[in-house]
Structure 1
Amino acid sequence: MVVNLRAKKRLVSRVTGVGIHRVWFDVEHVDDITDAITRENIRSLITANTIKIKPFRGTSRGRAKLKRIQKRKRGTTAGSKKGAKGARVGKKRVYV
């Protein structure tokens, strides 16, 4: 029997302060989850590992790092420079 647990997921995400997609329910204990109606019930299920919070997954910077390494190989010719002559190297530094 399929049970709609969308409201329970939303409640768990509010109690724990994480997103809905990080909430995981143990399929063997669906009856216990459906019976849990208060925030205290939800907290007890989390301590019993019936409800788990998945670890945070950030955006991988791997591709960006490779791109930055490749860009280091480029030369700094006239077309690559941005900013005025005085913006890249100050007038005083040029003088000294």
Structure 2
Amino acid sequence: MTSLKSQRRLAAQILKVGEDRVWIDPNRIEDVEAAITREEIRKLIHEGVIKPLKEKGVSRARARIIHQKKKKGLRRGPGSRSGAAKAKISKKEAWMKKVRALR
């Protein structure tokens, strides 16, 4: 199989995407090999031989799961809290801890 590096690069510039996002039809590789000018590449894009692949997004699945757990009141323990010692524990909780130790 011959290298389609220059064709891929031209197609990426024309489509305004990265080289990794250029899809070339495996059944029409001979036509792509023959195309050496921008005009020929544009023609192949118009025919649908070369297409831009969709951009991959970031999945929110894990974020949704964590959000549901936080709604239930989970993931809010002392290990999940950040901040100063007095900010982490409320005045009431600190007092309760102190009084229980005295009893």
TM over 0.5: yes
- Relative to structure 2, which stretch is displaced further, 66-75 or 39-48? 66-75
Runs of 4+ in 1 over 6 A off after TM superposition: none
In the alignment, which residue of structure 2 is the partner of 1:29? 28
Unpaired runs of 5+ in structure 2?
88-103
- 1:5-20 paired onto structure 2 within 5 Å: 5-20=4-19
In the alignment, which residue of structure 1 is the partner of 2:51? 52
Unpaired runs of 5+ in structure 1?
86-96
> What do you get for the CA RMSD once the two structures are aligned?
2.4
In terms of fraction of residues, the more helix-rich structure is: 2
> C-alpha displacement at 1:16, in angstroms?
0.7
Question: % of aligned pairs identical?
Answer: 33
Task: Please give the alpha-carbon distance, in whole angstroms, between the structure 2 residues aligned to 1:81 and 1:12.
Answer: 49
In the alignment, which residue of structure 2 is the partner of 1:94? none
Task: Please give the alpha-carbon distance, in whole angstroms, between the structure 2 residues aligned to 1:82 and 1:24.
Answer: 49
Count of matched residue positions in the alignment of Structure 1 and Structure 2: 83
Pair 3,71 (structure 1): closer, same or farther in 2 beyond 3 Å: same
Q: Which has the larger radius of gyration?
A: 2
In the alignment, which residue of structure 2 is the partner of 1:69? 68
> C-alpha displacement at 1:63, in angstroms?
0.7
> C-alpha displacement at 1:52, in angstroms?
1.5
Task: Please give the alpha-carbon distance, in whole angstroms, between the structure 2 residues aligned to 1:25 and 1:81.
Answer: 50
The alignment's TM-score, normalised by the length of structure 1, stands at: 0.69
> C-alpha displacement at 1:68, in angstroms?
2.3
Pair 82,34 (structure 1): closer, same or farther in 2 beyond 3 Å: same
